[in-house]
Amino acid sequence: MKIERTGRKEVAAESEVEAKYYTAKGNTRYVLKMRGVYTYTFKKVAGRWKISDMRFSLLSKSFEPIGA
């Protein structure tokens, strides 16, 4: 996770993620692969860091039969 202080009471963070989901149709199994980045903004409220914004940006995705 990449973290950067953007202000006295504000922090920005980025986290790259990859997900795989498996499914089947008939006798064929498939895998859906997705890569992306979560971008967070944290603000200090009453002495505690709280998420004030969270966004997901999709970088790539594929849907293929398993073993292809």
Give the CATH number, domain containing residue 28.
3.10.450.50
How much is the pTM? Answer: 0.75
**Contact (CB, 8 A) for 45 and 51:** no
pLDDT tens track for 27-62: 999 999 999 999 999 999 999 999 999 999 999 999
Six token digits for residue 64: 């293929």
Give the gyration radius of the chain's Cα atoms: 18
What pLDDT is attached to residue 68?
56
Number of domain units in the chain:
1
Average pLDDT (9-20) is: 96
Domain assignment of residue 26, given as a range: 2-65
